Amino acid sequence: MVDQFTDDELARRRAAGRRLAWALGAAVLALYVIGFFIQR
Amino acid sequence: MKRLAAPALALGALQPAAAFADYQWNFPKPVTPIARDTLNIHNEFMLVITVLFVVVFAIMIYSMVKHRKSVGHEPAKFSGPTGKLQWFWVLVPFGMLLFIDFVLMGIPAFHAVIEMEDTKTRADMVIKVTGLQWKWQYEYPDDGIKFMSNMTTPPEQIANQGAKGEHYLLEVDNPLVLPVGKKVRVLLTATDVIHTWWVPQFGVKRDAIPGFIRETWVKIEEPGTYRGQCAELCGKGHGFMPVVVKALPEAEYAAWRDAKKTELAQAAAGAERAWSKDELMAQGKEVYAKQCAVCHQPEGQGLPPAFPALAGSKIVTGPLLSKDGKLLPDSHVDRVLNGKPGTAMQAFKGTLNDVELAAVITYERNALGNAKGDMIQPAQIKLLR
Amino acid sequence: MNTATTTVNGHAGHHDGGHHPTGILRWLTTTNHKDIGTMYLSFALIMFFVGGIMILAVRAELFSPGLQLMQPEFFNQLIGVHALVMIFAALMPAATGFANWQIPLMIGAPDMALPRLNNWGFWLLPPAAILLTMPFVLALFGIGDGAIATGWTFYAPLSVQGGIGVDFAIFAVHILGISSILGSINIIVTIFNMRAPGMTMMKLPLFCWGWLITAFLLIATIPVLAGAVTMLLTDRHFGTHFFNAAGGGDPILFQHLFWFFGHPEVYILLLPVWGLMPHVLATFSRKPTYGYRGQVYGFIAIGILSVIVWAHHFFTAGMPVPALLYFMYSTMAISLPLAVLFFCWIATMWRGSMSFETPMLFAVGFIVLFGIAGLTGLVLADVAADAQYHHSYFVVAHFHYALFAGGIMGVMTGVYYWLPKWTGRMYSETLGKWHFWLTVLSFNLTFMPQFFLGLAGMPRRIPDYALQFAEFNAISTVGSFILGLSQLLFAWNIIQCARGRGAPAESRAWEGAEGLEWELSSPPPHHSWEVQPQVK
């Protein structure tokens, strides 16, 4: 087990966090937009 | 805080003692098979959840009394079930809950739902209920009977300027009349927004949805007058559109039906003859008070911007008809007959007869501060439909 | 849970001296999770009183039959805006405020993963709250006819018919939705990426688990709500007919879309509270949380079930029998994971060494009253009986037991529990206890009669009522005013702590408290964990 996150590791985690955030945001937008095209 | 509460409680005690007798802790007395089932189910469920509540919280309160720091109880260390016996005691409550959910409650619920939704089997008659802002229209398709049901509680009582009657807010001019002991299939729809037809003693509550038909059924077991209300928020008059149903023994119901038919036929016959302006104005005043005054106000001043004033209105004081007697789009007559989509102004041609329409149009043009001087005949309305 | 730390942060907040803006600019530009948490919580408290005043006006009108204080139009506006304010501007921001303050402290992170996004998430709220309430003010100047008068549910076609208040509410809901989505994204990202070394998902504090499920529910359902109200907007102004039968649409479609969001929303409001409850119970029982895994799985199960039961909110609208049966039985199934939570809460207390400080009192009050909400919810699931309960005061009472006793009293539990950590001061225990007892007693005085009103047949959302409902309504109104006034004690207690009055709080403010947040000083340093803690 690592004692503490290195600066590199922290930077990597922040980058991964940003990617995940964009992905979630895109999913939300997709859900919103696609909804208008669903037909009964 | 306590000092503030005391006068408030005293105020509460000043409520009329007469109404105290109506204090009620459960559903009102059921008069249909559905209502009886619903009451039984409700009573059973209340018993079940009360027992659950008492047992669960008795255990908790026991623990709160016994396992306190102040009585020197040393905390245990466990953080989950260990061993077969403990797992057994953990799983028992869930087994019981499964049983309660899907057997004890689930099975009677299943049967009640099937019964409730079975509107078609052995139905003796059909009635159609239409919700409008803010009144009900009842129609007996087999007998050609159709009438509106408006609340009759006077505005003075609502404004606290007069003593409130016994059936305050739960009284109408024309109640729905139904025979006792017959299975009545009730079709529901609405013209403007969603309303909900509810009579607690029938155990029936169903939405009336514009553009769609929903259905339910009642089989009233004893004669009487049963009162309910619209249950879905439908605008400013939501609290003022009661449902009143008068259940009559079969013979009396037949007599009522025949009398009503004759009455409606006479009213319709009036459309053929020429009416004098005074006659139309007198009838128009009545129609206005019942149909229009809620929104446009008794003096025609309206409640802008949602409900425009009729006094001095451009539409009301505009031309009546085109030169060759045709309907002018967006004219006064057009509005009254066809309404204005997307607003609370509804199409009255479906709910009022020719005489009433001619009367109210004539009235609006020559009263409420307007003085157009013209008039329209029921016969003309008939042609415009 | 066996979290323990090897490093304790000893640096007091010396890092922030000088290079941060002060005054209003500090709050406008802050990216610090504690500042933002404080702003969320303050905003929630203010809006709690705004929404409360609205409903007290309603209760005053309902004190006796007849119209005394207001016309039905205004009454309808008050009930709808009360609900929107309480749900979107009081309860949700309060929960987000908790998340902002606590999640970094509890998982050993220096801050939220996306601090600037966090700032945006908060600053979208005040404009939305203004949009929601502005139509009231505009009406005073003769513009429009007041706020949204359709109830918080926006049901079409009533909302298509409504005035400008509906448009304002539609835009407010969009903005509030964006704010919630941003907050949720931040929380998910923080929990997934910023946990201290050694903190596996199955060591994650339950509060964080509760919020994680909440965040996913928000991301899944807010777009549906936004879509529904956008469709409403285009129906109102751009000639579409999504909800108009005359144009081939369906008014019930709106109800499906709304409640697809609306039912999970209940759990969105409650999951953060269910998450913090075990912490409080374990602390004051001086005993480890019972059934950590069971609770985590319970949260997940409830999260999943919550998105497949929506139609029980409109059984009376009529639907095919198989649909009725499906929604009835799936709704009943929610009682099982919920029972797991109740079981774990009580088992955590069982054979502990309990003491009853204010947070514990609120926690116990929450369990009992929320129990009533759960049990009445179970009977509401029954389609046949629901025909009587639905649209009546029975439902009003039920969801206030869920959302006041479950939601707001849960939030109060958290506030009293963590206030010493946030402010570094102990609140007044005497006032706290007064607040608890007044709240619990007056809450029941307010809402217990409403169950009986509903059974007797009083529909909800009516400005005036028949004479047989008079006594219970009068009692309810008296209760509501005591309830409203008691909340001033709550505000006073918080303000006193924030002003630095009261005894200083230790790092571990409560004797039995476990968890990373109690390793930090009270209040914590400006940057929470400069040296990351280790979790064994």
Q: According to CATH, where is 2.60.40.420 located in chain B?
A: 125-155+166-257
pLDDT digits (tens, 9 = 90+) for B238-270: 999 999 999 999 999 999 999 999 988 887 777
Q: What is the ipTM of this complex?
A: 0.89
Dihedrals phi, psi of B316, to nearest 5 degrees: -65, -35
Residues of C in contact with A32 (CB under 8 A): 223, 226-227
Instruction: Note whether B touches A: 3 CB pairs or more under 8 A.
Output: no
CB-based contact C80:C152 (threshold 8 Å): yes
Give the global pTM.
0.89
Residues of A in contact with C186 (CB under 8 A): 21
Tell the residue number behind the tokens 């919810």, with chain if given. C377
Domain B273-384, architecture per CATH:
Orthogonal Bundle (1.10)
Contact C189 A21 (CB under 8 A): yes
Q: According to CATH, where is 1.10.760.10 located in chain B?
A: 273-384
Please report, as a single letter, which amino acid is at residue B12.
Answer: G
- pLDDT at B323 > cutoff 90: no
- Give kind and range of the element (H or E) at residue B53: helix B33-66
Nearest to B209 among C317, C340, C452 (CB): C317
The Cβ-side half-sphere exposure at C47, using a 13 Å CA radius, reads 29
Cα(C493)–Cα(C488) distance, integer angstroms: 8
CB-based contact C229:C242 (threshold 8 Å): no
- pLDDT at C10 > cutoff 90: no
- Binning pLDDT at 50, 70 and 90, where does residue B6 land? very low
Supply the pLDDT for residue B277. Answer: 85
Interface of C with B in 116-145 (CB under 8 A): 144-145
Instruction: Give chain C's length.
Output: 536
Token pair for C61: 């009108």
pLDDT digits (tens, 9 = 90+) for C382-393: 999 999 999 999
Average pLDDT of B114-140? 92
Lowest mean pLDDT among B76-85, C424-433, C464-473: B76-85
Contact C245 B212 (CB under 8 A): yes
pLDDT digits (tens, 9 = 90+) for B130-162: 999 999 999 999 998 999 999 999 989 999 998
Nearest to C457 among B60, B113, B228 (CB): B228
CB-based contact B351:B132 (threshold 8 Å): yes
Could you give the angle at the alpha carbon of C169 between the alpha carbons of C167 and C171, nearest 5°? 70
- Burial label for B17, CB within 10 Å (0-12, 13-18, 19+), is exposed
B218, C300, C306, C410, C488 from C269: Cα distances, Å: 39, 15, 12, 10, 23
Considering Cα of B78, then B80, then B83, then B89, what sign does the dihedral take?
positive
Supply the pLDDT for residue B195. Answer: 96
Residues of C in contact with A14 (CB under 8 A): 113, 193
CB-based contact C95:C214 (threshold 8 Å): yes
Q: How many other CB atoms sit within 10 Å of the CB of residue B230?
A: 27
User: How far is C189 from chain A, CA to nearest CA, in Å?
Assistant: 5
Token pair for C207: 């509060």
pLDDT digits (tens, 9 = 90+) for C327-380: 999 999 999 999 999 999 999 999 999 999 999 999 999 999 999 999 999 999
Interface of B with C in 145-204 (CB under 8 A): 157-160, 164, 166-170, 192-194, 196, 198, 200, 203-204
**C-alpha closest to that of C512 among C360, C311, C329, C331:** C360
In the DSSP assignment, the letter for residue C147 is B
Contact C340 B207 (CB under 8 A): no
Average pLDDT, chain C: 92
C278 touches chain B (CB under 8 A): no
- pLDDT at C493 > cutoff 80: yes
Cα(B13)–Cα(C475) distance, integer angstroms: 9
CB-based contact B187:B128 (threshold 8 Å): yes
Supply the pLDDT for residue A39. Answer: 66
Tell the residue number behind the tokens 């998982």, with chain if given. C107
Nearest to A5 among C227, C230, C532 (CB): C532
Q: Which chain A residue lies closest to C193 (C-alpha atoms)?
A: A13
Contact C251 B16 (CB under 8 A): no
Dihedrals phi, psi of B130, to nearest 5 degrees: -120, 125
A15, B365, C33 from C219: Cα distances, Å: 21, 56, 21
Token pair for C492: 């006073």
Interacting residues of C459 by C-beta distance below 8 A, sequence separation 6+: B196, B198, B229, B230, B231, B239, C391, C392, C393
Supply the pLDDT for residue C8. Answer: 39
Token pair for C36: 């933002």
The Cβ-side half-sphere exposure at B62, using a 13 Å CA radius, reads 9
DSSP-assigned letters across all residues of C120-177 = HHHHTHHHHHHHHHHHHHHHHTTSSS-B--S-TT--TTHHHH--HHHHHHHHHHHHHH
Residues of C in contact with A3 (CB under 8 A): 197, 534
- Binning pLDDT at 50, 70 and 90, where does residue B313 land? confident
Q: What region, left, alpha or beta, does residue C456 occupy, with left being phi > 0 and alpha being psi -120 to 50 degrees?
A: alpha
Share of chain B above pLDDT 70, in %: 94
B302 touches chain C (CB under 8 A): no
Token pair for B159: 């404004």
Sheet with B184-190: strands ordered across: B145-149, B135-140, B125-132, B184-190, B214-218
Which chains neighbour B (Cβ–Cβ under 8 Å, 3 or more pairs)? C
Supply the pLDDT for residue C231. Answer: 94
Share of chain C above pLDDT 70, in %: 96
Token pair for C160: 């298509």
Residues of C in contact with B77 (CB under 8 A): 287-288
pLDDT digits (tens, 9 = 90+) for C166-202: 999 999 999 999 999 999 999 999 999 999 888 999 9
Cα(C515)–Cα(B374) distance, integer angstroms: 84
Q: How many other CB atoms sit within 10 Å of the CB of residue B377?
A: 17
Contact C353 B68 (CB under 8 A): yes
Nearest to A1 among C188, C198, C220 (CB): C198
B16 touches chain C (CB under 8 A): yes
**C-alpha closest to that of C300 among C346, C273, C347, C337:** C337
Supply the pLDDT for residue A3. Answer: 56
Supply the pLDDT for residue B334. Answer: 87
In the DSSP assignment, the letter for residue B76 is P
C523: preceding bond cis by omega (within 30 degrees): yes
CATH match for B125-155+166-257 among 3.30.300.30, 2.60.40.420, 3.30.720.120, 3.40.190.10: 2.60.40.420
Cα(B174)–Cα(B138) distance, integer angstroms: 9
A22, B209, C297 from C312: Cα distances, Å: 34, 17, 24
Supply the pLDDT for residue B24. Answer: 76
**C-alpha closest to that of C251 among B214, B241, B128, B113:** B214
